[in-house]
Amino acid sequence: MGILRVATARRTSLTREYVPNNARTATAMPVLFALNMLLRAEQINVFTLRQNRAWRKAAGFRKMATIPVPPPLNVILANQ
């Protein structure tokens, strides 16, 4: 069974994100990325894990985890 078929059948969300801390003061790359987005676009920003969890929960996802990958990105996996 292919990855896409499994993800579709189980309603899995997998995203790669720059995630700052809850105070939006660290780490450097997500904060710099957010600054860059503010200068270039009106509707784009970076969001904390707390915000990501709230949105996914509202969309019906109940299980969420971050997958360790080399910094500065985070991989967020959520399942319904």
Question: What gap in Å lies between CA 24 and CA 38, rounded to an integer?
Answer: 14
Half-sphere exposure of 9 (CA within 13 A, CB side): 6
16-20, 49-53, 56-60, 70-74: range with lowest mean pLDDT: 70-74
Confidence of residue 41 (pLDDT cuts 50, 70, 90): confident
Number of domains the chain contains: 1
Residue-number span of the structural domain to which 31 is assigned? 3-79
Question: For 51, phi and psi rounded to 5 degrees?
Answer: -65, -45
Which of the four pLDDT bands, split at 50, 70 and 90, describes residue 2?
very low
Percent of the chain with pLDDT over 90: 15
> d(Cα 77, Cα 63) in Å, to the nearest integer?
8
List the CATH number of the domain containing 71: 3.40.50.150
Model pLDDT, residue 7: 54
The pLDDT assigned to 72 comes to 82
